[in-house]
Amino acid sequence: MAEGGGESGDMAKQIFTGVFPIAPTTFDERGELDLASQKRTIDFMVDAKVDGICILANYSEQFALTDAEREQLIDTILTHAAGRVPIIVTTTHYSTRIAAERSKRAQQAGAAMVMLMPPITAPPCARTRRASPNTSVRWPRRSTSPSWCRTRR
């Protein structure tokens, strides 16, 4: 569980330890989301005494889901988990703007933390890392950028 306490909006002060498995996304025989099965999966993990659960990671087929399906899963899982364990929501996207929007939405929905993968196609640089000035998502700063990314003067 989280050490140091705090609400989900106070993510920067929480330190998580323990086992945080990635929950698979469950589908029915037609390939549609199976939300009843998804809830059973979350219950199984909670009953197994995990310290938290990560959702929408690669193992969760995040790249195969529509935005509406992602939102439906986030709402369903966070509501069903009901604070029994912290939920980490993966918000990765190729677009920094969309990743920032997803991160803010997950934070507002009650995620204990957001997780992002670095872009698969190229390392991020200052030009591609910039998010909307209205976003409250904190992005890590890189001490150096790859040579192809540096602004030429």
CATH number at residue 42: 3.20.20.70
- Residue 59 main-chain phi, psi, to 5 deg: -60, -25
**pLDDT tens per residue, range 3-43:** 433 444 455 578 899 999 999 999 999 999 999 999 999 99
Locate 101 and state its tokens.
């929007």
Nearest to residue 96, comparing CAs of 62, 57, 45, 135?
135
How many whole angstroms separate alpha carbon 118 and alpha carbon 47? 32
Task: Please give the angle made by the CA atoms of 69, 94 and 130, to the nearest 5 degrees.
Answer: 120
Q: What is the total count of domains within the chain?
A: 1
Q: What residue type is 78 in one-letter code? A: L
Structural domain range at position 110: 2-149
User: With 90 as the cut, is the pLDDT of residue 52 above it?
Assistant: yes
User: With 80 as the cut, is the pLDDT of residue 128 above it?
Assistant: no
